[in-house]
């Protein structure tokens, strides 16, 4: 293998050495239960409190507004179900979200629909930006919650969350954003943003999998999902995952310090996009500028994504695809369909997601490796044969 | 998707890719909407022997590997023998496929049968076997 290029940072990231070292010391020494009334417990509790305070400072809120969870999916479930159950008591049984949310949000909404809630799935434009007029029309006095992701995981499109919050609050609805992909890519201050709840996850910012958090604005009470001991101020039971909480705080701290470095990631992204769009019959999915710093999502006509990924993988490049053939379902990516990419083209889309760990040499390597793969697969595609025939006819 | 070595071999080094200009029969199955199309070309001599066989496939790794394996399994055989090719024979020859990919082997079997049906039509022989589906172009 010539080279190893990890370009799937939207799926997960490599835990950073600083995070691993912060975490290891907790495993080795501060393994106490933060609820215990002895020195070993106090030692652990101090670490959890310190991590919470550090995170609160970064997100611009107070420490008692941060609740640690097991992952982004749990945070999404808790925010949406917790708010829905609570608001139903006030006669609000309607949820507004978008067609391009992560499945953690979409399937949570579907579960609530089965319980009698109604859900409106607002559309997006061709670049993946939520249709604000449609959103404004969807939110009523019956709406409990408006849930819009900060940035899309597949096409990287950033949403105008401040505007979404304004629309929700005008009708007395709560505003929640799943910021799992956005965190570390944009500076987020929850107070300035005005959201009532925000979810994030550790493993997208070089912390381990298995740790997430939910910000819940002070004064807002949502129904518990996980009852248990009195952890997280009685709102989320379960002994605190001290090491991972420390890891999350460390990772968030580093990610925030690295925000200026995103200009370099953006430059790599744009060079990659430009280079790949030089391939005929290719198209960028998502917004050209309002997109995550490291997100590249391109559709190549007449070929299928999994085949591209397999060749890339053999060349040492890790990427991902919106094709149905890479998953257990037969439907291609709901996000690509929502932005109007036809089925057959959605199958040929791949996502390359960069982080600060990638280099210009990685971009060069992808740009020299990918075009011959596309060409090779097209040569054996009956659809490409048709395009070539049509081109011959027009000449 | 983790594939067997045999699948990887046929995916990276597919046998019989291409077209046959004056094919005796051509079969196309699948559609772009579902993400796979297989096109199989047969050259059949007067003794009903498949002397040449080529394919073109739009699809995933399994679709490409099953097309390649199917062409290899029928090349040099009689039409009658080719009609006996079932998807499970293809799967077995590939040393297995992940469950979600078994439909690719079904497509390969159907593509071969379609190509033979096309040949029968051309020479005016009645089709005495089941032809599952023709290519259905999707509108969008």
- Is the same domain home to A218 and A302? no
- Is the same domain home to A239 and A298? no
Q: Report the chain B residue with the minimal C-alpha distance to residue A343.
A: B33
- For testing the chain B interface, which of A303, A307, A328 should be mutated: the one with the most B CBs within 10 Å? A307
Q: Is the pLDDT of residue B133 over 70?
A: no
**Is residue A145 in some structural domain?**
yes
**Would you call A328 and B100 a contact, using CB atoms and an 8 Å cutoff?**
yes
- Is the same domain home to A272 and A253? no
pLDDT in tens, A147-161: 999 999 999 999 999
Q: Report the chain B residue with the minimal C-alpha distance to residue A329.
A: B100
Query: When comparing pLDDT for A353 and B139, which is higher?
Result: A353
| pLDDT number for residue A330 | 65
- Is the same domain home to A89 and A225? yes
Q: Which residues of A are catalytic?
A: 325
**Would you call B61 and A310 a contact, using CB atoms and an 8 Å cutoff?**
yes
Which of A3-7, B34-38, B110-114 is least confident?
B34-38
- Is the same domain home to A39 and A158? yes
Average pLDDT of the segment spanning A28-39:
97
d(CA A263, CA B126): 68
d(CA A159, CA A226): 30
| pLDDT number for residue A351 | 97
- Is the same domain home to A73 and A210? yes
Q: Report the chain A residue with the minimal C-alpha distance to residue B32.
A: A344
- Is the same domain home to A275 and A150? no
Q: Where are the beta strands (DSSP E) in chain B?
A: 25-31, 36-44, 50-58
| pLDDT number for residue B17 | 97
**Would you call B58 and A302 a contact, using CB atoms and an 8 Å cutoff?**
yes
Residue with the two structure tokens 């979810």: A199
| pLDDT number for residue B140 | 36
| pLDDT number for residue A328 | 61
Structural domain count of chain A: 2
| pLDDT number for residue A318 | 97
Q: Is the pLDDT of residue A78 over 60?
A: yes
- Is the same domain home to A249 and A320? no
Helix (H) or strand (E) holding A311: helix A305-314
- Buried/exposed A47-56: b ≥16 CB within 10 Å, e otherwise: bbeebbebbb
Residue A394 banded pLDDT, cuts 50, 70, 90? confident
| pLDDT number for residue A43 | 98
For the domain B5-122, what is the CATH code?
A: 3.90.1010.10
pLDDT in tens, A82-98: 999 999 999 999 999 99
Q: Which residues of B are catalytic?
A: 34, 104
**Is residue A1 in some structural domain?**
no
What is the residue range of A386's domain? 260-394
**Is residue A223 in some structural domain?**
yes
| pLDDT number for residue A323 | 73
Q: Is the pLDDT of residue A230 over 50?
A: yes
Chain B residues with CB under 8 Å of a chain A CB are 1, 11-12, 14, 17, 19, 28, 32-39, 55-64, 100, 138, 140
Domain boundary among A202, A231, A257: A257
Average pLDDT of the segment spanning A243-252:
98
SS3 A355: coil
Comparing CA positions, the residue from A377, A368, A376 lying closest to residue A304 is: A377
What CATH number does the domain containing A169 carry? 3.40.640.10
Report yes or no: A303 at the B interface, CB cutoff 8 Å: yes
Question: pTM for the complete prediction?
Answer: 0.94
Q: What is the ipTM, given to two decimal places?
A: 0.91
- Is the same domain home to A195 and A302? no
Share above pLDDT 70 across residues of chain A, in percent, rounded to a whole number: 98
**Is residue A10 in some structural domain?**
no
- Residue A240 backbone zone (phi > 0: left; psi -120 to 50: alpha; other: beta): beta
- Is the same domain home to A90 and A140? yes
Let me know: does A356 contact A261? Beta carbons within 8 Å.
yes
What CATH number does the domain containing A331 carry? 3.90.1150.10
**Would you call B28 and A302 a contact, using CB atoms and an 8 Å cutoff?**
no
**Would you call B57 and A385 a contact, using CB atoms and an 8 Å cutoff?**
no
Task: Give me the residue from B11, B34, B56 closest to A382, CB to CB.
Answer: B56
pLDDT in tens, A339-380: 999 988 999 999 999 999 999 999 999 999 999 999 999 999
**Would you call A323 and B60 a contact, using CB atoms and an 8 Å cutoff?**
yes
| pLDDT number for residue B132 | 73
Phi, psi at A100, each rounded to 5°: -110, 15
pLDDT in tens, A195-228: 999 999 999 999 999 999 999 999 999 999 999 9
**Least Cα separation, residue B99 to chain A (angstroms):** 9
- Is the same domain home to A96 and A218? yes
DSSP A266-290: HHHHHHHHHHHHTSSSEEE-S-SSS
DSSP A186: B
Q: Where are the beta strands (DSSP E) in chain A?
A: 5-6, 66-69, 94-98, 118-122, 143-147, 174-178, 197-201, 212-216, 282-284, 295-300, 317-318, 320-321, 349-353
Comparing CA positions, the residue from B109, B107, B91 lying closest to residue B99 is: B91
Domain boundary among A222, A257, A292: A257
Share above pLDDT 90 across residues of chain A, in percent, rounded to a whole number: 94
| pLDDT number for residue A325 | 62
**Least Cα separation, residue A58 to chain B (angstroms):** 39
**Least Cα separation, residue A385 to chain B (angstroms):** 9
- Is the same domain home to A85 and A198? yes
Domain boundary among A203, A223, A257: A257
DSSP A200-245: EESTTTTS-SS-EEEEE-TT-----SS--SSHHHHTS-S---HHHH
């Amino acid at each position: 293998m010539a080279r190893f290029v990890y370009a799937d940072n939207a799926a997960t990231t490599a835990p950073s050495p600083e995070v691993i070292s912060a975490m290891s010391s907790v495993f080795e020494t501060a393994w106490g239960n933060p609820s215990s009334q002895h020195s070993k417990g106090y030692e652990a509790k101090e670490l959890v409190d310190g991590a919470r305070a550090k995170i609160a400072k970064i997100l611009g809120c107070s420490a008692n507004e941060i609740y640690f969870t097991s992952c982004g999916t749990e945070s999404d479930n808790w925010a949406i179900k917790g708010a829905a159950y609570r608001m139903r008591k006030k006669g609000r049984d309607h949820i507004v979200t978008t067609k391009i949310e992560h499945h953690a949000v979409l399937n949570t909404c579907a579960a609530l629909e089965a319980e009698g809630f109604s859900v409106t799935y607002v559309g997006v434009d061709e670049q993946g930006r939520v249709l604000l007029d449609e959103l404004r029309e969807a939110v009523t006095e019956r709406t409990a919650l408006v849930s819009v992701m900060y940035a899309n995981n597949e096409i990287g499109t950033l949403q105008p969350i401040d505007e979404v919050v304004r629309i929700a609050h005008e009708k007395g609805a709560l505003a929640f954003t799943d910021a799992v992909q956005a965190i570390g890519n944009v500076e987020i201050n929850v107070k300035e943003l005005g959201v009532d709840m925000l979810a994030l996850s550790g493993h997208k910012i070089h912390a381990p999998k298995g740790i997430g958090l939910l910000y819940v604005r002070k004064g807002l009470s949502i129904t518990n999902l996980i009852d248990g001991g009195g952890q997280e101020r009685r709102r989320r039971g379960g002994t605190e995952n001290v090491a991972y909480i420390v890891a999350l705080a460390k990772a968030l701290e580093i990610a925030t310090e690295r925000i200026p470095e995103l200009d370099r990631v953006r430059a790599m992204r744009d060079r990659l996009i430009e280079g790949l769009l030089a391939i005929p019959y290719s198209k960028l999915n998502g917004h050209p500028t309002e997109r995550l710093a490291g997100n590249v999502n391109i559709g190549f006509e007449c070929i299928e994504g999994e085949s591209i990924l397999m060749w890339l993988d053999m060349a040492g490049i890790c990427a991902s695809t919106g094709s149905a053939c890479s998953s257990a379902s037969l439907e291609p990516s709901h996000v690509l369909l929502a932005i109007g990419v036809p089925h057959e083209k959605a199958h040929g889309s791949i996502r390359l997601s960069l982080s600060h760990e990638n280099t210009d040499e990685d971009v060069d390597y992808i740009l020299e490796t990918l075009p011959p793969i596309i060409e090779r697969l097209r040569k054996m595609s009956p659809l490409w044969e048709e395009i070539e025939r049509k081109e011959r006819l027009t000449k | 998707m983790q594939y067997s070595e045999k699948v990887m071999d046929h995916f990276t080094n597919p046998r019989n890719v291409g077209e046959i200009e004056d094919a005796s029969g051509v079969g196309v199955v699948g559609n772009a909407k579902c993400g796979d199309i297989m096109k199989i070309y047969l050259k059949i001599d007067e003794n009903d022997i498949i002397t040449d066989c080529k394919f073109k496939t739009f699809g995933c790794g399994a679709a490409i590997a099953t097309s390649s394996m199917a062409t290899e399994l029928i090349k040099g055989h009689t039409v009658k023998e080719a009609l006996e090719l079932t998807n499970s024979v293809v799967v077995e020859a590939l040393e297995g496929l992940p469950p979600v990919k078994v439909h690719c082997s079904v497509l390969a079997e159907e593509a071969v049968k379609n190509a033979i049906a096309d040949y029968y039509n051309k020479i005016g022989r009645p089709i005495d076997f089941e032809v599952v589906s023709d290519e259905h172009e999707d509108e969008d």
